[in-house]
Structure 1
Amino acid sequence: MTALASIKNQDIAALMRDMGINARKAALELAQVPSEPKISALKAAAAKLRDNADAILAANAKDMEAGRAKGLTDALLDRLALDPARIEGMAAGIEAVAELPDPIGRELARWSPEHNGLDIARVSVPLGVIGIIYESRPNVTADASAMCIKSGNAAILRGGSESFHSSRAIFDCMAKGIAKAGLPDNAIQMIPTTDRAAVGEMLKLSDYIDVIVPRGGKSLIARITDESRIPLFKHLEGLCHTYVHASANPQKAVDIVVNAKMRRVGVCGSTETILIDSSVAGRLLPRIAEALVAKGCELRGDDIAQSIDGHIKPATDEDWVTEYLDAIVSIKVVNGVTDAVNHINTYGSHHTDAIIAENA
């Protein structure tokens, strides 16, 4: 019997309660840990990722094979896929987090009321225990663990079934690095089952988990919003916009727009709508369109955009509210900043929006 199967036969409510208790104990210890051991733990975790890259790739191959058999879209498979460069990116990201200033113990404000002689300070402290629920991106395992450790918080991780083997292999490296530095054993924990019931039980642990951070699609976010007894840090979707201002440097605009759309089309921070100022659209939109088409991107736009470049197909009202997560982008010509902002406020999700300008 596999470890996964045996977990499924256990009492999931008891499993989750035990994880909550262990996380709370670890959080109390972790809150007292000074900066240097946290830095050492993260650097050790990054080294473990590099040392175990082959094992992580082997685990990812299992997930990719299962994902293809399940019929996952190309966008989801791209989120799921790991390669040596992405593993190195995870390790480098952990090291970058390690070198950030310690966010704990910073004095945020101080005041001394004259009438009572008190000296009052507001100081940053850890939240406590953070529950992180995510779907097909195994790199979240490393990113979330690193940020929680750096900020003195314990974490309970729940990765999606699609990335189970990959996330587990990454988690093992993170846990070994943390243990090597002498941090609490349960500073990070990963739910060892893909059973959806574990999420429901996790969302009930208000005595042990201080905040839930969901990372995933609409259905996941909606479920967690409906069921959680714990406060959430969340977003719903990534209807992201890039506005090319009249003052934009033409080559910068082309390079930034292509990167914003095509670097990884399946992530929620990818641009889905390009807004271009009418004063520069005639000379700049053809360059942007040509560069996007060369990368395999389908273009859909309003009447003005279509009249400027023949690559652009008609956009419908639905396009302005669609998170494509694919090599498709909508394009609208706007009359200045106010028009651009009005469009973003009407159709956007306020996830990741950008203005390309030289003098804005």
Structure 2
Amino acid sequence: MRVWDVSSLNITPISKSKFTKNIYTNYQSFEFSSSLNQEYDVAEREFTFSSVVKNLNFDNIRLFLNRKEYVQFNGIDTVAVKPIIKKIDNSESIIEYKMYLPYGENEIQLYATKNNETDIYISNEIKINCIDFEKSSKKATLYILNYNPTNYEEKKIAKGYSTQSNKVFCEELLKLKNVVYKNVEITNFNSVEAFNSDSIKNKIVKLSSNFKSYDAIILTFNGYFIEKNKSLAFLSPNSTLKDIELIYIDSIMNFIGQKIKNIGVINNFSLLNAKLENSFIIPDQKMVYDNLKSLIKKYKNFYFFQINNNVDGNPFDIFAKAKNKSADTNNNSIISIDEINSILQPVFSPYFYTNNKDQYFYLLEH
């Protein structure tokens, strides 16, 4: 059960009526507590709206969904839904409404009256997006591109590099097949052969020919970055200090294109400790973060985690373990990227950037 705090309400049975424009004339407002998220996603259409209210002798209170009083068919007639009232003490009670939400964006408001309906109170709006995962699971694909070298061939470059397996992480993402996505496709670039520039281009271009706007893509990086001519690049494991091979990130993004609208980037950052010729710059963590951030801003939905690989522990394992009920702090069956960030912060203090912190990452089993 989700309990929300409202400033003041008292509940009695309600009569059926319409939510007309004239109720906005000469009304007072009350607000939900500041701790309540005013806009969020839910995974299930069956929804319980719960609120702690103060007993201040309202004549009645009514629940409105998308500017219409919430009603249900009782087998004979369509009637306004009455709340379930649970008394806490003499000053407060809990009210609950059992609802069935339409898919898509919804607005919930409470409407209360006092003094024979001469005083009107309207709550602020709660915006709830009910995601149709059944629909997405029939057509959308999640693409995962992993840039995770097994090792760097030259010892001076390999020194300080820590390979972090993302096997368990990918296994959790594969479980989203037929649940959130119709398919989950993983492409690994980890061997020396895989880091050939032409090979990377050909694989991504082939994948991108099937991209749809409703698909999603995740890029993971574990390795070194180099900057040359103001362009950020991933250091190929084939490189030596005398023969640097680079995979330019802007080229990868161009191969992906913008047909796909949803992108996530997870970078497990390592700082190269070596001396290179003057045309190459070894960027620090902030430089890499700023550069990657600028490349993903053009997508409709994006998020970006950058973690310092010098910290003990495997961040990909933390991502995998985040798929559990304890991470679902708002009990909506969705693990959002913001909830994942809350788990990562105490351990890794990652750089975190997004245009929608509530977008889903995992869906818990119902």
TM-score if structure 1 supplies the norm length?
0.30
User: Larger % of helix: which?
Assistant: 1
> Which has the larger Rg?
2
Between the two structures, name the one with larger relative contact order (CA 8 Å, sep ≥ 6): 1
TM-score if structure 2 supplies the norm length?
0.30
User: Larger % of strand: which?
Assistant: 2
